[in-house]
Chains A and B, each alone.
Chain A
């Protein structure tokens, strides 16, 4: 069955969206949530497991103190209330991603509740702020990784059997759940993206997670419903495990377009789980949630309650680092740029890249020029985030160094960067492999100038008679003859000297 879609803007003329985002983030602890197995990514299958995370009889879990502290710090940074007493709960379900047949989570007693996160999005009328309210932040454990065998495409549908790696089972997760986000209108997709971006930056600045989205350490469940203006909220769909910032935005957009078509055709939106597909940017139906699932939550008897005392919470509060929005305001002042220019950096997720480049010793305006210009263009062309390009602040620093020393011109620098982007190695390797060295000895440049003058005698005459703007044609010819590997300013100076004309 294929879905119909309504044009995005048309959809938002007829309907108002309500969003809800549930974000799971793996904490950056060394050991798991309830046992001392390592959490390092990429280990051989089933080599980071023990009696506790395999759920063997007689094993007893003990909570990781750093994970509790990280969750409280995240809660404080989100302006949440921290519970003075809370428990873990067992969420019971039959699925082989957990060997215990339950996941230890928190149910009716989350550690953190009632917070908010402010986000800013760009609009035609300038930056606009939204306050996203946080329902809760709670602790739980990640599940194992399934691989489906048999069938055609490695998907669960049509699989003959599945294989499970429990290395990930028991890695500390925090789940951050928003309250319904209303009033975003056509900005819904970008608000969703801005929220997840801000959340990611907050986690990084707190140092509680390295948030490597490409390794699945941040995953987002995206809830969307639509209703005609002023009507009660519609039925929502839940798109599971969306794992890039760009995908969050696309998933919201696609669900708005799909649900609008369903409702306009007189149908009803089914409450269900959906899956997002990177290739098409669309979602497909998963399991129906018509029958509410019954997880038979009950207090986890093997773990004692967590009861953070006030002094501990206040100490953690006093130790919170500079949060990203404050940091951005400081960067903006230091770099001397406008709100609009700062928002442009935020939109392409370039703030930290520029900050890293400046920290490496590059002038702020030069750093911004590279990331917002050439690199943003390439990232956009490739449909990837800036940070996943094979270019780092160190790359830009080296290029700027070579430009400053006169070893590269701007145009040679762009070709060096092109090589780095093409995966040909670091800057120096590309410069050497592509032979991007400046023709700097005067005699070869003068020879090229003489040839150009001889080929364009009329231009030479114009320059001699004082029409200095005609020099461009000669400089251009020399640049062409040297395959761009000359410094145009220097060629120009030599040209005027040759003709005995004052510039």
Chain B
């Protein structure tokens, strides 16, 4: 049976700012449950002495020297912005959207 409920999907959708319809909630609950079940099989073979892996390549301590390099020209940044005003990114009203 699915581990992921419609309520779980609704919660995730709210966190990700996605608007999902009623049938989509059911649809994704089924799909996500199947994915969770598939991933859970890994736990069956991973013994307690195998740590969870977040990075597939065993590399640590990759650091950069504290040196300055030129970034992007402001005109280039402005050209990418959906809206631009007073040398800054213009973003929609923050409060009151919900």
* Given A164-B91, A296-B15: A37 touches B68 (CB 8 Å cut-off): yes
| A299 CB-CB contact with B under 8 Å | yes
Is residue A36 contacting chain B, with contact meaning CB distance below 8 A? yes
| Known contacts A96-B91, A156-B94; A49/B77 CB under 8 A | yes
Residues of B within 8 A of A159 (CB): 93-95
A350 to B66, CA, bound (A): 33
User: A29-73 interface mask toward B, CB cutoff 8 Å, 1 = contact, 0 = none?
Assistant: 111000111100000111111110110100000111111100000
B40-70 vs A, Cβ < 8 Å mask (1 yes, 0 no) = 0000000000000011010111111111110
Query: Is the Cβ of A64 less than 8 Å from the Cβ of B88?
Result: no
Interface of B is mostly: loop
The one of A50, A92, A160, A165 in contact with B88, judged by C-beta atoms closer than 8 angstroms, is A165
Given the known interface contacts A95-B94, A166-B89, the answer about A47 and B59 at a Cβ–Cβ threshold of 8 Å is no
Instruction: Spot the interface stretch: A116-124, A301-309, A409-417, A440-448.
Output: A301-309
> Which residue of the partner chain B has the closest CB to A309?
B61
Query: Among the listed A30, A44, A304, which residue makes an inter-chain contact with B61, where contact means beta carbons less than 8 Å apart?
Result: A304
Q: How far is the CB of B39 from chain A (nearest CB, A)?
A: 14
- A47, A68, A308 pick with most chain B CB within 10 angstroms: A47
State whether B59 touches A49 (Cβ < 8 A): no
The number of residue pairs between A and B whose CB atoms lie closer than 8 Å in the complex comes to 124
Question: Given that A51-B72, A54-B77, A304-B59 are known contacts, is A161 also in contact with B90, CB under 8 Å in the complex?
Answer: yes
Min C-beta distance of A397 to chain B, whole Å: 35
**Beta-carbon contact of B71 and A62 below 8 Å:** no
What chain A residues lie within 8 Å of B66 (beta carbons)? 29-31, 64-67
Q: Which residues of A contact B11 (CB under 8 A)?
A: 294
Check A315 for interface membership: any CB of B closer than 8 A: no
Residue of A nearest to B73 (CB): A47
Is the CB of A87 closer than 8 A to any CB of chain B?
Answer: yes
From B85, which residue of chain A is reached at the shortest CB distance? Answer: A163
In the complex, whether B87 has a CB less than 8 A from a CB of chain A is: yes
Q: Mark B75-89, 1 if CB is under 8 A from A, else 0.
A: 001101000011111
Once bound together, how far apart are the Cα atoms of A38 and B65, in whole Å?
A: 13
Is there contact, CB below 8 Å, between B88 and A46? yes
Query: Quick one: given A63-B64, A65-B63, A301-B54, are A37 and B71 in contact (CB under 8 Å)?
Result: yes
What are 26 contact pairs spanning A and B, CB under 8 A? Answer: A31-B69, A36-B64, A37-B69, A44-B74, A45-B88, A46-B74, A46-B77, A46-B88, A49-B71, A49-B72, A85-B60, A87-B54, A96-B89, A146-B94, A147-B88, A156-B95, A159-B93, A161-B93, A162-B94, A163-B90, A296-B15, A301-B54, A304-B60, A304-B61, A304-B62, A307-B61
Spell out B's residues near A (CB within 8 Å). Answer: 11, 15, 17, 54-55, 57, 59-69, 71-72, 74, 77-78, 80, 85-95
